[in-house]
Amino acid sequence: MRKLRNIFNLGVKELRSLSRDPIMIFLIVFSFTFSVYTKATSMPESLNKVAIAVVDDDHSKLSKRIIDALYPPYFLPPVMITENQMDARMDAGVDTFSLHIPSGFERDVLAGRDVAIQLNVDATRMSQAFTGGGYIQSIVNSEITEYLQGYRAKTAMPVELTLRARFNPELNNGWFASVMEIINSITLLAIVLTGAALIREREHGTVEHLLVMPVTPFEIMISKVWSMGMVVLLSSFFSLTVVVQSLLGVPIEGSLVLFFSGVTLNVFAATSLGIFLGTIARSMPQFGLLMFMVLLPLQILSGAMTPFESMPKPVQLIMQLAPNTHFVSMAQAILYRGADFSIVWPQLLSLCVIGIVLFSLSLAWFRNSLGKMI
């Protein structure tokens, strides 16, 4: 009971210390609210309200069909311009796409002749340039095909491809981005809060006070783990339920209880890693540099940004040792696909084992560093 009381009191001390740190409070609030919202809405990878201009020299029914198909929200209403204006508007950055439909276009299409349509693309707008070119090509081909069916006999295709989008039927990038931002923020804050708490005590000289108290390194470490972990858990719960589900309207398929069970295991591993980094670093700038070396590979190579299966095999094998990899896989399975315990238990078990190993290594290193200070 004395150990539990010490762990509780030390954890409360950490929470009080955190409450007096406005920078950390701002980081927590920003990471789980504004950052999640802007990630989901400000920079969508899909085409959204792109400026397009059209030079229609044909003025036919077919050209009008193509122009009418360039509708919001993918494109802004097309601006009708002349051929002389096309290059000048593109040079000034007014238009991302300029579509030139030549004279006699409908006549040549009905006659079965080869027809060329010119599409100018401002490739400095990378994401829109790559995505929009394919969209416009698909729209033009679709409208031509439907138009020709009214003039030629229909030809039955031997195979019909039916596309069904699972788990994200709207193909809305915001659904993916908002949830993944929470997943990344959970690991980020768990490492930063515990590492910064340890360094803050070293810089303020309170570590020496702890050494003369009847507490063990285990009690000191586990108090930081539970207190900072609780902050991350409560913040992520608020972000997922209020910001993601209520404000952004993103549907969550799986069990929140199962998801936050996985969050707890991941936070346990991440806070242990944070203490390990905080023990190595002697100042906050050093800790920041270590975070760059550790956190970026964890996020980039965990499958949060690109599919894990597309990475080289050696990278996949190495990243199996990182808690982030299993946490991202588990979170995506539960929140996107509604997976239950029978599907995600391998990831939960991996998180538990990795967390115990990281905690044991961090405790040994922490105990050794405290021994040198005595």
DSSP 293-320: HHHHHHHHTTTSSS-GGGS-HHHHHHHT
Whole-angstrom Cα distance, residue 147 to residue 109?
A: 10
Secondary structure class of 340 (helix, strand, coil): coil
Q: How far is CA 91 from the centre of its chain?
A: 34
Neighbour-count burial of 221, counting CB atoms closer than 10 A to its CB (0-12 exposed, 13-18 middle, 19+ buried): buried
**pLDDT recorded at residue 81:** 93
Number of domains in the chain: 2
Note whether 266 and 187 are within 8 A (CB). yes
- Do 22 and 83 share a domain, yes or no? no
pLDDT, tens digit, 9 for 90 and up, residues 307-320: 787 788 898 899 99
**pLDDT recorded at residue 93:** 83
- Do 22 and 60 share a domain, yes or no? no
**pLDDT recorded at residue 112:** 83
- Do 135 and 179 share a domain, yes or no? no
Whole-angstrom Cα distance, residue 298 to residue 192?
A: 14
**Spans of the chain below 50 pLDDT:** 157
Query: 163-178 burial, b for 16+ CB within 10 Å, e for fewer?
Result: eeeeeeeeebbbbbbb
Kindly report the pTM of this predicted structure.
Answer: 0.75
**pLDDT recorded at residue 73:** 79
**pLDDT recorded at residue 49:** 81
Secondary structure class of 235 (helix, strand, coil): helix
- Do 220 and 328 share a domain, yes or no? yes
- Do 188 and 121 share a domain, yes or no? no
**pLDDT recorded at residue 232:** 94
Token pair for residue 149? 């069916």
Which helix (DSSP H) or strand (DSSP E) does residue 7 occupy? helix 2-19
Q: Which domain, by its residues, includes 236?
A: 2-43+172-373
**pLDDT recorded at residue 30:** 93
Per DSSP, what are the bridge partners of residue 366? none
